[in-house]
Amino acid sequence: MYKTNHVMIAEEAANDYLRKLGKNDVKITSDHVDVDGKVLVSVQQSQSTYEGIRSALSWVYKMAHMEMPSEISHHPSVFIAGKQRTGIKEKENLGLSLTEGKKAMSQECFELIAKKFFYSPNQEHIFGHLFLYWTGYS
**pTM of the predicted structure, to 2 decimals:** 0.43
pLDDT at 137 over 60: no
Domain positions in the chain are 4-94, 103-138
70-105 pLDDT per residue, tens: 877 777 777 777 777 777 777 777 777 666 667 777
State the Cα torsion 114-118-120-124 to the nearest 10°.
80
pLDDT at 135 over 80: no
Sign of CA dihedral 62, 68, 73, 76: negative
Q: What is the DSSP letter of 135?
A: T
Whether the Cβ atoms of residue 97 and residue 46 lie closer than 8 Å to each other: no
More confident residue, 128 or 133: 128
Distance CA 14, CA 10 (A): 6
Q: Give the pLDDT confidence score for residue 57 in this predicted structure.
A: 84
9-66 pLDDT per residue, tens: 888 888 887 888 788 787 888 888 888 888 887 777 777 777 787 888 888 888 999 9
